[in-house]
């Protein structure tokens, strides 16, 4: 019905990404002013700006707009942002005589208009449209619904209002990241199978692989079933020994999955926050790792699991494997434990001991994050987080951030900043759009400068993979990314962890070209990529790497993606890195990955330069990274080297793409010529001293062309 509302679709225009309609662009600091304008070439008595703002509750208000003295048909107003961070939603209401509003709307839609008969007036709303170019809106018959419990339709325009003093560490902005699942990366020279086996004396459910290249366990031991307790013996020293390899990938910062003592191989069931798992090398291995990475100039972020612990832990101690009395015995047997208040217990109808657990998994008892003794243990001056930061970590990744109270997250950020003089980061696991994330009955305080520096970019991942798979087109990708850019504070936007794989999702190449997930582990284990899948997958991965490395944010590579490791969900996305077993096509893919990641090291503008979407239709995507006329990036830093970098991607496997440019680097036309994917997606880089490409550029199927203006 939307397309039938107005006789003239451009008779009213507000485009939130164009400075003539909204200035300044994007998210704003508390106390900032914004100028909002709307053009209306139709007869109306008044246009009212309607807005709602807040976080845990929204306040609704209206402001009558004024006609501009300089621009015909333009209505304007100015708003000062609230003093507290939060969300500001806005839309416009056109109010006039019934006949005036009816003239805008098709006759068959007149009955949908909101009318105030006592005032002889009709209302027509102008709201946000997800598909609008440059943030252009559309008409609606009703006002947007923006409350937490309301269906979010029609959509409102959004301004993210963040803390005026919010800054993120400069080293993180645009950094190249690499994620490692510690047990599966590299054993190290001090590895001993006998020593690894010895850790099973206290935990008989463990399984140990002597063969590094053996496939992951999917059954567990007969007496326990699958528990994710099979180990290969990767160590922290092993990671450090591969520092030169990491440097060859141009990595700035590692994100490590949990390294604290735990029962499982993933270690999200923390057993002791204060100890590094013995299989990983213990505290001494950690000290060596930290020192060697510092010498190599590579930072690292540790994984913090603070919404729950393991049942088999020194804190809960359900199985009595620790000497100190845990919370379980304190409740079940009436004993004393300093950890008793951390958990919630009760007895069932038959007298069984029951307790609150993470998503109902009994091996993961939930903690009470508001318990002050727990907070002191984790966030106190000598607590877990401060010790990790002072011990060399450059930040903490928070597991299930959206399941931690906002007050806990704010205290976490304060703790991290105090322990590091502001130089460490807080990285959150948030899967949805972070500025409007809702959980536990409220918008969450995630993107406003008080809790996180950045979060995991799962929306980025979905947008990239959907485009490259052919599920969506380039325009959809562009609109998604522009909304991302508009809503995020710039301090967070340039630090976003732009991933395409992780330990929680299937490998990128499997998502791109693999068969649909068959469901069971047994069926997943039997599926492998064919030769055709590998060649096509390698080409698509190169395109994904190019987008990651050239788009603003922190490109993050999950270990092994750089050479096309495949696998479905856990545990197949956590196989061992194939050292000394790399195939020819994997080595070729690795070589191209190094070239692309090297662009971040070679060209400073890719860290914090501006971005412009130049063309996005069908299979064709072109975007531009650039500095201003004085050679400065978004934050005013003068950058050496290239002033402009252009990325052209051709997703088609059946068409060659011919792009025509004029002297001002504007796309004047695109032709498509039948061609066949050769099995080798190309990554071509052209360095020029002129004003980028002039004339015609050819991009073969499933290929990328990068132009650098130096």
Q: Quick one: average pLDDT of 552-576? A: 98
More confident residue, 667 or 370: 370
Separation of CA 547 from chain center: 14
- In the chain, residues under CATH classification 2.60.40.1180 are 603-709
Q: pLDDT at position 6, please?
A: 55
* DSSP secondary structure of 145-214: --STTS---SBPEEEEEE-TT----TTTTT--EEEE-GGGT---TT--HHHHHHTTSS-TT-EE-SSTTS
Residue 672 burial (CB count, 10 A):
15
- In the chain, residues under CATH classification 3.20.20.80 are 177-186+235-307+369-593
Is pLDDT of 430 > 80?
Answer: yes
Give the homologous superfamily in CATH for domain 2-162. Immunoglobulins (2.60.40.10)
Lowest-confidence segment of 126-135, 614-623, 679-688 by average pLDDT? 679-688
Do 356 and 307 form a contact (C-beta atoms < 8 A)?
no
Lowest-confidence segment of 199-213, 503-517, 549-563 by average pLDDT? 199-213
Do 434 and 70 form a contact (C-beta atoms < 8 A)?
no
Is pLDDT of 655 > 90?
Answer: yes
Q: Quick one: average pLDDT of 376-390? A: 97
What pLDDT digit, counting tens, does each position of 484-496 carry?
Answer: 999 999 999 999 9
Q: pLDDT at position 109, please?
A: 85
Hey, what are 498's tokens?
């732009």
Hey, what are 325's tokens?
């009395």
Q: pLDDT at position 63, please?
A: 97
Give me the CATH code for the 177-186+235-307+369-593 domain, please.
Answer: 3.20.20.80
Q: Quick one: average pLDDT of 43-66? A: 96
Residue 19 burial (CB count, 10 A):
11
Alpha helices, H only, 577-697:
584-602, 605-608
In this prediction, residue 8 has a pLDDT band, given cuts at 50, 70 and 90, of low
Q: pLDDT at position 116, please?
A: 84
In this prediction, residue 115 has a pLDDT band, given cuts at 50, 70 and 90, of confident
What pLDDT digit, counting tens, does each position of 685-710 carry?
Answer: 877 665 455 678 899 999 999 999 88
| Secondary structure of residue 531 in the 3-state scheme | helix
Mean pLDDT of the chain: 94
Give me the CATH code for the 603-709 domain, please.
Answer: 2.60.40.1180
Cα separation, 150 vs 136, whole angstroms = 23
More confident residue, 151 or 491: 491
Q: pLDDT at position 3, please?
A: 41
Hey, what are 622's tokens?
């072109």
In this prediction, residue 10 has a pLDDT band, given cuts at 50, 70 and 90, of confident
Q: pLDDT at position 674, please?
A: 95
Closest listed residue to residue 353, CA positions, set 369, 323, 330, 384? 330
Is pLDDT of 681 > 90?
Answer: no
H or E segment to which residue 513 belongs: helix 508-513
Do 275 and 229 form a contact (C-beta atoms < 8 A)?
no
In this prediction, residue 422 has a pLDDT band, given cuts at 50, 70 and 90, of very high
| Secondary structure of residue 270 in the 3-state scheme | strand
In this prediction, residue 119 has a pLDDT band, given cuts at 50, 70 and 90, of confident
Q: Quick one: average pLDDT of 604-623? A: 97
In this prediction, residue 9 has a pLDDT band, given cuts at 50, 70 and 90, of low
- Evaluate the omega torsion of the peptide bond into residue 695 and state whether it is cis, within 30 degrees of 0: no
Q: Quick one: average pLDDT of 371-379? A: 98
More confident residue, 710 or 194: 194
**What residues have CB less than 8 Å from 156, skipping those under 6 apart?**
52, 89, 90, 91, 127, 128, 144, 146
What pLDDT digit, counting tens, does each position of 242-287 carry?
Answer: 999 999 999 999 999 999 999 999 999 999 999 999 999 999 999 9
- In the chain, residues under CATH classification 2.60.40.10 are 2-162
In this prediction, residue 680 has a pLDDT band, given cuts at 50, 70 and 90, of confident
Bridge pairing between strands 425-428 and 345-347? unpaired
In this prediction, residue 636 has a pLDDT band, given cuts at 50, 70 and 90, of very high
pTM, two decimals, is 0.95
């Amino acid at each position: 019905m939307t397309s039938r509302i107005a006789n003239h679709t451009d008779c009213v225009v507000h485009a939130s990404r164009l400075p003539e309609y909204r200035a300044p662009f994007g998210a704003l600091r508390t106390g900032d002013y914004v100028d909002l304008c709307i053009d209306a070439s139709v007869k109306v008595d008044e246009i009212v700006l309607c807005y709602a703002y807040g976080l845990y509750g929204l306040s609704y208000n209206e402001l009558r707009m004024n006609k501009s003295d300089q621009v015909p048909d333009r209505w304007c107003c100015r708003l000062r942002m609230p003093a507290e961070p939060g969300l500001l939603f806005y839309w416009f209401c056109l109010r006039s005589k019934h006949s005036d509003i009816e003239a805008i709307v098709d006759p068959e839609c007149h009955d949908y208009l909101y009318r105030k008969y006592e005032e002889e007036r009709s209302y027509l709303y102008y709201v946000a449209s997800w598909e609008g170019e440059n943030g252009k809106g559309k008409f609606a018959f009703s006002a947007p619904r923006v409350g937490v419990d309301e269906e979010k339709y029609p959509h409102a325009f959004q301004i993210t209002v963040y803390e005026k003093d919010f800054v993120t560490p400069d080293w993180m902005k645009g950094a190249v990241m690499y994620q490692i699942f510690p047990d599966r990366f590299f054993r190290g020279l001090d590895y001993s199978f006998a020593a690894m086996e010895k850790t099973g004396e206290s935990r008989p459910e463990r399984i140990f692989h002597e063969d590094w290249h053996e496939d992951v366990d999917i059954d567990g031991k007969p007496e326990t079933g699958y528990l994710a307790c099979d180990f290969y013996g990767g160590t922290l020293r092993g990671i450090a020994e591969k520092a030169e390899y990491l440097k060859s990938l141009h990595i700035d910062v590692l994100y490590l999955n949990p390294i604290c003592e735990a029962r499982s191989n993933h270690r999200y069931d923390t057993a002791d926050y204060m100890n590094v798992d013995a299989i990983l090398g213990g505290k001494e291995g950690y000290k060596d790792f930290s020192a060697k990475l510092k010498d190599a100039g590579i930072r690292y972020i540790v994984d913090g699991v603070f919404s729950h612990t393991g049942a088999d832990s020194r804190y809960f101690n359900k199985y009595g494997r620790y000497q100190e009395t845990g919370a379980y015995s304190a409740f079940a047997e009436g004993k004393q434990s300093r950890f008793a208040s951390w958990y919630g217990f009760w007895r069932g109808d038959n007298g069984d001991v029951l307790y609150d657990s993470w998503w109902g998994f009994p091996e993961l008892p939930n903690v009470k994050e508001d318990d002050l003794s727990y907070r002191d243990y984790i966030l106190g001056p000598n607590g877990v987080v401060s010790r990790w930061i002072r011990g060399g970590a450059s930040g903490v990744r928070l597991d299930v951030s959206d399941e931690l109270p906002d007050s806990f997250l704010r205290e976490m950020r304060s703790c991290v900043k105090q322990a590091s003089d502001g130089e460490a980061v807080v990285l959150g696991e948030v899967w949805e759009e972070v500025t409007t994330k809702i959980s536990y009955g409220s918008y969450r305080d995630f993107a406003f400068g008080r809790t996180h520096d950045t979060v995991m970019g799962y929306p980025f991942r979905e947008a990239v993979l959907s485009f490259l798979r052919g599920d969506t087109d380039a325009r959809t990708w562009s609109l998604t990314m522009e909304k991302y850019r508009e809503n995020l504070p710039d301090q967070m936007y340039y630090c976003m962890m732009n991933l395409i794989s992780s330990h929680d999702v299937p490998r990128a190449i499997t998502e791109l070209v693999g068969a649909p997930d068959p469901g069971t582990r047994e069926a997943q284990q039997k599926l492998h990529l064919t030769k055709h899948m590998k060649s096509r997958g390698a080409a698509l991965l190169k395109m994904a790497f190019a987008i990651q490395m050239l788009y603003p944010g922190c490109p993050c590579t999950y270990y092994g993606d750089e050479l096309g490791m495949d696998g479905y969900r856990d545990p197949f996305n956590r196989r061992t890195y194939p050292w000394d077993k790399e195939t020819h096509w994997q080595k070729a893919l690795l070589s191209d990955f190094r070239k692309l990641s090297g662009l971040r090291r070679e060209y400073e503008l890719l860290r914090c330069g501006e971005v412009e979407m130049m063309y996005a239709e069908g299979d064709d995507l072109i975007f531009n990274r650039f500095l201003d006329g004085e050679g400065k990036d978004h934050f005013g830093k003068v950058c050496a080297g290239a002033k402009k970098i252009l990325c052209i991607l051709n997703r088609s496997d059946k068409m060659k793409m011919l792009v025509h440019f004029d002297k001002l680097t504007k796309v004047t036309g695109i032709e498509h010529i039948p061609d066949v994917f050769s099995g080798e997606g190309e990554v071509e880089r052209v360095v020029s001293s002129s004003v980028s490409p002039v004339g015609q550029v050819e991009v073969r199927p499933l290929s990328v062309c990068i132009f650098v203006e130096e």
